[in-house]
């Protein structure tokens, strides 16, 4: 999932996407974060649409989904 032009590494926990300028690869290399994306609407009820990012390579291809809160995008 590319955001901006730099490169980021070692990310963990909560990330404010307003401050991001780089690449989010997922928890581990090969997670394929951004391999799928969806717009589920306003999941957290803050009045701003959120983004769902899939990572098909997580946990032996069991996959994972990350919810990015739209208020910080």
Give the count of domains, the chain: 1
> Using one digit for the tens of pLDDT, what is the confidence trace for 36-45?
889 999 998 9
Asked if residues 39 and 49 have their Cβ atoms less than 8 Å apart, the reply is: yes
Which among 40, 38, 35, 5 is positioned nearest to 22, based on CA atoms? 5
> What is the reported pLDDT for 40?
92
Residues 6+ apart with CB under 8 A from 42: 48, 49, 50, 70
What's the token pair of residue 71? 């208020």
Q: CB neighbours (10 Å) of residue 54?
A: 19
Stated pTM of the model: 0.61
Print the domain residue range for 30.
2-72
């Amino acid at each position: 999932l590319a955001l901006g032009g730099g490169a980021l590494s070692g990310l963990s926990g909560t990330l404010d996407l307003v401050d991001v300028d780089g690449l989010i690869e997922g928890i581990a290399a090969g997670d394929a974060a951004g391999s799928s994306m969806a717009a589920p609407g306003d999941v957290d009820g803050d009045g701003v649409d959120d983004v769902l990012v899939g990572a098909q390579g997580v946990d032996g291809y069991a996959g994972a989904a990350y919810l990015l809160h739209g208020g910080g995008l």
